[in-house]
Structure 1
Amino acid sequence: MVLRMPGLSRRAFGAFGAVAGSGLLLPRTLRAQEEPVRGGTLRFLVDPEPTGLVPLSDTTGANVMLSCKITEGLYGYNLDFSLRPQLAVSHTVTPDGKELTFKLREGVKWHDGQPFTSADVAFSLMTLKASHPRGRATYANLEEVQTPDEHTVVLKMKAPAPYLLNALAGQESPIVPKHIYDGSDVTTNPHNHAPIGTGPFKFKEWQRGSHMIFERNEDYWDAGKPYLDRIIVRFIPDAAARSIAFETGEVDVGGDYPIPYSDLERLSQIPTLGIETRGYGYGPNISAIEFNLDNPYFAKPEVRQAVAHAVNKEILLQNVYYGFGEVATGPIHQAHTQFYTPDVHQYAFDPERANQLLDQAGLPRNDEGIRFAVSHDPLPIGNQHIQSGEYIRQALAQVGIQVTLRNQDMATYIKRVYADRDFDFVNNTMTNSPDPTLGVQRFYWSKNFKPGVPFSNGSHYENAEVDRLLEAAQVEQDPARRVQLFHDFQKIVAVDIPTLNTIAIQTFTIHSVNLKNHTLTADGIHANLAEAYLVS
């Protein structure tokens, strides 16, 4: 779908995208009428440069977006969330939900020529349970993976996992070669930067600061695909230069808001470009302020509540995101209509109330009008987090909180926030994933506080009732009861606010109109692009 926006308000576009991007309400995309064209090089823009290419422990956006061209999952998901067989061709589930059996695709080979077997799946799933930010919750009830033969995998669960069949995409549960990773530290294995997968493209090279090259896998299990000969991944750190690259035709596609929101309407008028909002249902994004609860100031609930009253979310929506999205009311994106509830405590923009709360917290102003000073680290993806940080600094100065912004590259940010825990508060993007157990739980579950694992419980939040609700939702098979558990969870964290959710973001892909079949699934541009092709 190519979306043009003349006469369409930003807020209307944002509201449309919240539905279209969800992938929940739209029919499956129809195949292009013309015969796919073979050959050609796709120029894929990514920002920032990834820190790795196999998301076993690091689920940074660029890592996830690129890895799925090389490594795969058991299933893909159509835009309506129906299953697309990938490394698994079928499955069965016992009535009690405690045993899942997968039949694997036969004749699949790893890019180094070794056969793909059930041992690879067993190794990968148990690794994800141990090291993946979301996998700790996703596979919490997985006790054992049995491999009765080379093409059968049996998951033995200690309790049902009603969400699990939504967690098997390559970006969420990548299947990696046991013979490459077994016996190593999966977080530092060198093949994280030169992966061997089963996917339609093979890794060829990575020139740091410049580009990557993926080449066509001639032995791909889906005969005749991919259609493209290669993908060249470009890294362009300057936001203005990224917009120019699309204008001049230097690049063909980019996802996860690859250009500044301020340029989106202008570029949407260029006839050679299209804007796609679908393909983000698998991971709708919420921007958020995450507090380090080990910080003596932010450990006080009154201080977090004061920040919530001091920050005007509408200003962020209109001036940072240019209206492309909605004000967030809690940790679950509005696109997840089944689980989302607006019936939670809200913090109106009220600087007077913020000042009262800070006084109550015993934090008076000094002679210079400052109550205390903290540092703030914006996520180094795009420019919206830095712009949000600049606004947050100004807003908190009005209530006596002095904020110093610290900007850094992604590797430094991850080390500082998640390994060293040398931060006070951040603003970042939290990917919801298709189910709250998969995407939301990781930020609020006390058992997911694991220093060194990116995008986990960075706030170090602990609430026994929240843990109980999240763990109950992990195993609840009654859909209505499960929805209520997540509603109750949202109400508690809205009061505790270890994280202040600000904007339910409208994410988009920008692409050349000559690129076809780039968005066929619920994970859109994050999928493997085996069916994508270029026309002249």
Structure 2
Amino acid sequence: MRGAAALLAVALLGGTGSAMAQDAAKAGASTASAEPAPKRGGTLTAIIQPEPVILTAALNSAAPTGVVTGSIFDGLVDYDSKLNPVPALATSWETSKDGRTLTLKLRPGVTWHDGKPFTSADVKWTLEEVWKKIHPRNQATFAKVISVDTPDDLTVVLHLSEPSVAILSSLNSNGAQVLPKHLYEGTDILNNPYNNKPVGTGAFVFKEWSRGNYLVLERNPNYWDKGKPYLDKVIFKVIPDAAGRAAALEKGEVQYGVLSPVPLKDAERLSKLPTLRVSTAGYEWLSPWLFADFNVERPQLKDPKVRQALAHVIDRNTISKVVWFGFAQPATSPIPSTLAAFHDAGGISYPVDLKKAEALLDEAGYKRGADGTRFSLDVDYIPYGDDFKRTAEYIKQALKRVGIEANVRTQDTAAYTKRVYGDRDFDIAITWFAAFSDPQVGVSRAYLSGAVGKNIPWTNGSGYRNPKVDAQLTAVQGEADVEKRIQIFKDFQKTVLTDLPSLPLVELKFFTVEAANLRHPAPTGDQVYGSFRDFWFEDVKAN
């Protein structure tokens, strides 16, 4: 999905998808042709599903939180369609020749939604107290930052023990969300009331959260980007039922939905409606992949032979084409193929081979009993929609072929994350991560051992502890030589694909559904977590 306007995998859809491809092309080319002047006014109603657990992406990197808060908080940078950083709260940045100093110049005149000035002190405090201590990804991304200077209110100087090329890949509002120091300093950060009534610097101000129903954001009249936003209000509606989401879009009750908001089988039908557009553009920064975490602390899953056996049972082609309707492709590594420079499975693969799976299970001491059963496992899936549930149901059926009974369990997001990352009360957990534009940012967290059992969502769920891998993932944080860094990641892939604490399943191809009269510039590479500041309706009166 790398590129300026990644389109749907037409081949995987069996030759369909032409209408969707056309709409994606139109969406991606929206700035290429002459556009009328944006119109002020109107309310955008968007889908948010599932409902966020928290409204502060600096503390929880879950996708629903990122989708909502991208309009409340600005990032230090944004990313264009080619994932190059462009100015946002930071107007410029400079790296020293030795790569150990990064200087950011901040935008003057920016205020928090409560009227307090946004300054370098906010960035310094957030980096030291939140990114380096709490954030599930940034503990690794900013690990080499040893001190932060603020010579004036608009200058931030990061001093690093070693160069860190990944930092500039993670400075947008989702990757490194800056919190207001004056509202957080000296408080219990994780339980601060502003986590759920956020005060940001963005184009929209948080107004109301009716849990289970909707979230309301209103236009920021004091936004630094004068004249924006164009919309008066954004309403995020919680619509748990997948068919209900499709109907709401079709009827025009909602005008925007990201991260594949409707059942995959409905996407092609909706794309043919003149009132809607469907596009896969705007997800380039994510590089998402779906995987199964094996709880390596469980008796049956401690032995790598058992985990390898399970890998030989699960058909990733079937998951891609049947379970995900072609909106995915088989994954061969935890580093997705979209990160082409780093991706290398090292010749390690697990093709479907039931005989080999049976033999490995026998060797591990788990022979079939009189009833043909070897053992049973609980399978928990991230509760983000029917596609994830179908993945769990497929795995259940696949494991049954080699004598393993599986019980698929359903729970809400809060219960799921606590079960996997806190209580560790699971056998197999199915989830998806974003690798982002550098595997140090998105992949390392799934294998570093430091976060195991600390109830930090979206980190190492398998419980895998390997000093060699910890050393590799620590080494890339400060390696300035590009080729050496790539080689470390390739060696890392060979190790984890052999030990197999997690099984990569598929690389996901998310899509967005939006109203045809909704206008905005061509999607940026991180549009899914971006701001609605540039969105407007052609016919404001109709909205």
Query: What TM-score bracket applies, with the shorter chain setting the length?
Result: over 0.9
Cα contact 1:289–1:500 (8 A) shared by 2: yes
**Structure 1 residue 119: Cα displacement:** 0.7
In 1, the alpha carbon distance for the partners of 2:9 and 2:313 equals: 35
SS at match of 1:474: coil
Cα shift readout 1:297-329 (whole Å, capped 9, x = no counterpart): 111101101110111111111111111221000
Aligned to 1:122: 124
Cα shift readout 1:267-303 (whole Å, capped 9, x = no counterpart): 1111111112111111121011111111111111011
In 2, the alpha carbon distance for the partners of 1:520 and 1:364 equals: 53
1:294-333 alignment, distance < 5 Å: 294-333=297-336
Cα contact 2:9–2:326 (8 A) shared by 1: no
**Structure 1 residue 370: Cα displacement:** 1.4
Cα contact 2:44–2:235 (8 A) shared by 1: yes
More displaced 10-residue stretch of structure 1: 498-507 or 262-271: 262-271
Cα 1:328–1:9 change in 2 (3 A) is closer
**Structure 1 residue 341: Cα displacement:** 2.1
Equivalent in 168, 173, 177 of residue 171 of structure 2? 168
Cα contact 2:378–2:407 (8 A) shared by 1: yes
For 1:53, give the aligned amino acid.
L
Tell whether 2:407 aligns with 1:408.
no
Cα 1:244–1:190 change in 2 (3 A) is same
1:271-310 alignment, distance < 5 Å: 271-310=274-313
**Structure 1 residue 479: Cα displacement:** 1.8
**Structure 1 residue 46: Cα displacement:** 1.2
TM-score (norm 2): 0.93
**Structure 1 residue 32: Cα displacement:** 5.7
For 2:328, give the aligned amino acid.
G
1:364-379 alignment, distance < 5 Å: 364-379=367-382
Cα 1:518–1:10 change in 2 (3 A) is farther
Cα 1:518–1:361 change in 2 (3 A) is farther
Aligned to 2:260: 257
In 1, the alpha carbon distance for the partners of 2:232 and 2:435 equals: 33
Aligned to 1:354: 357
Tell whether 2:248 aligns with 1:245.
yes
Aligned length: 531
In 1, the alpha carbon distance for the partners of 2:523 and 2:398 equals: 42
In 2, the alpha carbon distance for the partners of 1:253 and 1:160 equals: 40
Aligned to 1:96: 98
**Structure 1 residue 3: Cα displacement:** 9.7
Equivalent in 57, 61, 64 of residue 62 of structure 1? 64
TM-score (norm 1): 0.95
SS at match of 2:270: helix
Tell whether 2:480 aligns with 1:499.
no
* Aligned-pair identity (%): 40
In 1, the alpha carbon distance for the partners of 2:300 and 2:8 equals: 45
**Structure 1 residue 74: Cα displacement:** 0.6
In 1, the alpha carbon distance for the partners of 2:446 and 2:59 equals: 15
In 1, the alpha carbon distance for the partners of 2:6 and 2:58 equals: 34
For 1:444, give the aligned amino acid.
Y
Equivalent in 136, 140, 155 of residue 139 of structure 2? 136
1:147-226 alignment, distance < 5 Å: 147-226=150-229
Cα contact 1:274–1:512 (8 A) shared by 2: yes
Cα contact 2:345–2:490 (8 A) shared by 1: no
Tell whether 2:82 aligns with 1:74.
no
Aligned to 2:477: 474
Cα 1:13–1:341 change in 2 (3 A) is farther
SS at match of 2:301: coil
Equivalent in 38, 46, 49 of residue 47 of structure 1? 49
Cα contact 1:214–1:230 (8 A) shared by 2: yes
Cα 1:9–1:329 change in 2 (3 A) is closer
* 4+ runs deviating over 6 angstroms: 1-8, 11-15
Tell whether 2:493 aligns with 1:490.
yes
Equivalent in 34, 37, 40 of residue 36 of structure 2? 34
Cα contact 1:329–1:344 (8 A) shared by 2: no
For 2:106, give the aligned amino acid.
L
When the two chains are superposed, the root-mean-square deviation of aligned CA atoms in Å is 2.4
For 1:74, give the aligned amino acid.
L
In 2, the alpha carbon distance for the partners of 1:387 and 1:257 equals: 15
For 2:534, give the aligned amino acid.
E
For 1:463, give the aligned amino acid.
N
For 1:532, give the aligned amino acid.
F
More displaced 10-residue stretch of structure 1: 205-214 or 445-454: 445-454
For 1:433, give the aligned amino acid.
F
Cα shift readout 1:220-251 (whole Å, capped 9, x = no counterpart): 00000011111000110011111111111111
Cα shift readout 1:385-417 (whole Å, capped 9, x = no counterpart): 100011111111111111111101111111111
Equivalent in 338, 342, 345 of residue 341 of structure 2? 338
Cα contact 1:102–1:154 (8 A) shared by 2: yes
SS at match of 1:475: coil
For 2:85, give the aligned amino acid.
L
Cα contact 1:3–1:274 (8 A) shared by 2: no
For 1:345, give the aligned amino acid.
I
Cα contact 1:28–1:78 (8 A) shared by 2: no
Gaps of 5+ in 2: none
